[in-house]
Amino acid sequence: MCGIVGYIGKREAVPILIEGLKRLEYRGYDSAGIALIVDSKIALHKNVGKIVALEKLVEGQDTSSHIGIGHTRWATHGVPSIANAHPHIDCSGRIAIIHNGIIENYGSLKRQLQNSGHEFHSETDTETLAHLIEEFYRGDLEEAVRNALVEVEGTYGILVICSEEPDRIVAARRGSPLLIGVGNGEHFAASDASAILQHTRDVVYLDDNEMALLTREQFVTKNVQAEVIPKKVEKIAYDLEKIERGGYDHFMLKEICEQPQSIQDCMRGRLLPKEGTVRLGGLHEHLDQLLNTRRIILTACGTSWHASLIGEYILEDFLRIPVEVEYASEFRYRNPVIDEGTVVVVVSQSGETADTLAALRETKKRRAPVIGICNVVGSSIARETVAGVYLHVGPEIGVASTKAFTAQVTVLTLIALLLARKKWMSQEEGQRIIAELEKIPQKIEKILTLNKSILELAKAYKDARNFLYLGRGYNFPVALEGALKLKEISYIHAEGYPAAEMKHGPIALIDENMPVVFIAIRDSSYEKILSNIEEVKARGGRVIAVVNEGDEKILSTVDHAIPIPETLEFLSPLLTIVPLQLLAYHIAILRGCNVDQPRNLAKSVTVE
Ligand code: G6P
């Protein structure tokens, strides 16, 4: 999704902006651009495609400037093109703006502006804002931006510069993340800390309806009424090299292989093996409320939604209360019943997904308690929920989520365990679960040693045009997630189903060209899964199965087996997903796909 970076200071702006934009590439984008102030004029450079193309474009041009803004665009209004790429400028060419989010009333604003003589050069909603600011400009950019924003409905994170005020950047936020980086005689602005982390770790997060004025020497944060609001400078804890690929060919592979460590990080300091329970600081003050909950709704999008489905199974199993899982995009619009005693849990890696954030706000409007489970510290969801649990797995850069998924499942398991122990579960039972949780990282380590054989499997199946993934119980959501991983990054059509549902439709598709991936571990539905495998084999289907080590019986039935260690049934998704992530990764690589930035997808979907 779109990315923002801005710089004002004593150094050349262009290398800082280009570097920052490169760091934002992982979010997914289709075009990019920068605006500088050179010789008291706005200099605009935009290109379609990758940042390197933009970098080439500016080479050899006069770009000496100490102030600039840069943007990666992921098209929402208008096709990816140079005209639609940001920054956008006003008629006079004095004002340049970059914008994340959507101006919902841009149609009516645009008509009014056109009627008063403004000429538009793009199909974007953002350009409207450039002209609107121009309309209000009387020599004070900050004031003009403030007046323009009063007219705007929708969401924005913006940076604005004006050639007549070459010593300032104006920033504003509503519904789209924006932070300021504080340097020595220089300031940065970005939608995401990774864009500026190589320069400073001191950041200030803007909240909704806040503006900031950046100069070389200082920054001032204000609310919409222009009142100064002092904000805390926070230190970013994670390291830049953590964001780098660390020797792996791709971020996705790195993140898959990191899972033994990331799950450990997620559990660190939270397990109480002796007491057979867990400590979750972020929920501590709300424990009573949680214990009295009569119904839980989990809401999320994409992979986080799949993790939530596993959460549903475990929470219901452990707490014996109804648990529902809702797509956030549906939940927010369908007037859901949120009665007293209902707790809503929003699950999101980025903490910025527009639909999930809207579901959270909808819940808050109805005065129901909302708990957040997210990874990005300081994200909107983290800040707008009263209680929550961080994943603590470090930045996830690959667009296809992997380590965040296993951490989400881990956190949901820890919540279920904490509440069950308070309610009914014996200390002994709790101890048994904790002991098993502690073994998960080393079991994943063992699965990762299968990487080569999974690559061979990928070679055999890389040309398939469709895949079916089947699982039951706790591993039905794993089937969905396995299929999602494959389709996201390899562009092979893949569907996940509960194995028994196959008979109600997908079985019609089965022949030798339709590989079927089963999660067939020795759990409570093992015998039933074996029958489903037979049904596929009887129709000439080819079967790849994730099985338990030492399961000789299944080997004669399936075409390929991926043996993994055993664990408790409700923890099995933490293991069974790993070979499916690797399978998707290798197939995508063999097909020449860009796994870290798959086409049309974005890491953080901040539009609905
Ligand atoms: C996008 C990403 C997915 C992610 C989903 C939800 O579609 O490509 O990987 O699962 O958004 O994102 P969230 O940050 O809310 O977990």
Q: Is 304 in the pocket of ligand 1 (CB under 6 A)?
A: yes
- Residue 222 — φ and ψ, nearest 5°? -135, 160
- In this predicted structure, what is the pLDDT of residue 377? 73
Q: Is the CB of 372 under 6 A from ligand 1?
A: no
Q: Which residue, judged by its Cα, is nearest atom 1 of ligand 1?
A: 603
Strand-pairing partners, residue 154, are: 103
With a CB cutoff of 8 Å and minimum separation 6, the contacts of 45 are 33, 34, 35, 36, 54, 57, 58, 61, 63
- The model's pLDDT over 290-319, given as tens digits with 9 standing for 90+, comes to 999 999 999 999 999 999 999 999 999 999
Tell me the CA–centroid distance for residue 317 and ligand 1, in Å: 26
Rounded to the nearest angstrom, the distance between the alpha carbon of 598 and the centre of ligand 1 is 13
350 lines ligand 1 (CB under 6 A): yes
CB atoms within 10 A of CB 207: 15
**Dihedral sign (CA 381, 385, 390, 394):** positive
Beta bridge partners of 37: 42
Which of 188, 242, 207, 197 has its CA nearest to residue 70?
188
Q: Whose CA is nearest to atom 4 of ligand 1?
A: 302
The pLDDT score that the predictor gives to residue 460 is 97
Q: Fill in the DSSP letter of residue 276.
A: T
- For 243-288, the pLDDT digits (tens) are 667 678 899 999 999 999 999 989 988 999 999 999 998 998 899 9
Measured CA to CA, the distance from residue 223 to residue 552 in angstroms comes to 67
User: Residue with the nearest Cα to atom 15 of ligand 1?
Assistant: 348
Atom of ligand 1 nearest to the CA of 601: 8
Residue 605 Cβ contacting ligand 1 at under 6 Å = yes
- Give CA–CA dist 113/108, Å, rounded: 9
Residue whose CA lies nearest to ligand 1 atom number 3: 302
Whether 475 is in the pocket of ligand 1, judged by its Cβ within 6 Å, is no
- 552 exposure class (CB count in 10 Å sphere: 0-12, 13-18, 19+): exposed
Contacts of 58 (CB under 8 A, 6+ apart): 14, 18, 34, 45
Given this model, what pLDDT does residue 449 score?
98
Among protein residues, the one with the nearest Cα to ligand 1's atom 5 is: 302
Q: What's the pLDDT at 28?
A: 65
Residue listed under structure tokens 């699950």: 347
Residues in the chain: 608
pTM recorded for the entire structure: 0.76
What is the Cα–Cα distance from 91 to 134, expressed in whole angstroms? 8
Q: How far apart are CA 212 and CA 171, in angstroms?
A: 5
Does the Cβ of 303 fall within 6 Å of ligand 1?
yes
Cβ of residue 401 lying under 6 Å from some atom of ligand 1: yes
Q: Whose CA is nearest to atom 7 of ligand 1?
A: 302
Spatial distance between the Cα atoms of 405 and 375, rounded to a whole number of angstroms: 10
Cα 283 to middle of ligand 1, angstroms: 24
C-beta 399 within 6 A of ligand 1: yes
With a 6 A CB cut-off, is 603 part of the ligand 1 pocket?
Answer: yes
Residue 278 contacts residue 434 (beta carbons within 8 Å): yes
- What is the atom index within ligand 1 of the atom nearest the CA of 302? 10
187 closest CA partner among 172, 165, 167, 163: 167
Spacing, Cα 313 to ligand 1 middle (Å): 21
β-pair partners for 187: 8, 182
Distance 507 CA to ligand 1 centre (A): 30
- pLDDT on residue 176: 85
Please tell me if the CB atom of residue 348 comes closer than 6 angstroms to any atom of ligand 1. Answer: yes
Catalytic residues: 2, 603
Q: What is the pLDDT of residue 206?
A: 95
Encoded tokens for 257? 């292989």
As a whole number of Å, the CA-based R_g of the chain is 26
| Distance from Cα 135 to the centre of ligand 1, integer Å | 38
pLDDT on residue 239: 66
Q: Ligand 1 within 6 A of 353 CB?
A: yes
Q: What is the pLDDT of residue 76?
A: 67
Separation of CA 485 and ligand 1 centre (Å): 12
pLDDT of residue 241: 61
| Enclosing H/E stretch for 412 | helix 403-423
Q: Which structure tokens are listed for 517?
A: 């991936």
Query: What is the predicted pLDDT for the residue at 594?
Result: 93
Distances (CA, A) of 302 to 73, 138, 253, 347, 506: 21, 46, 19, 10, 22
Angle between helices 427-448 and 403-423 (to 10 degrees): 170
The residues, any chain, with a CB within 8 Å of residue 367's CB and separated by 6 or more, are none
Q: Which of 267, 95, 255 is nearest to 164 (CA)?
A: 95
How many angstroms separate the alpha carbon of residue 164 from the centre of ligand 1? Answer: 41
Please return the burial class of 539, using the count of CB atoms within 10 Å of its CB with bins 0-12, 13-18 and 19+. Answer: middle
Low-confidence ranges of the chain (pLDDT < 50): none
End-to-end CA distance of the chain: 12
- Using CA positions, which residue lies closest to atom 2 of ligand 1? 603
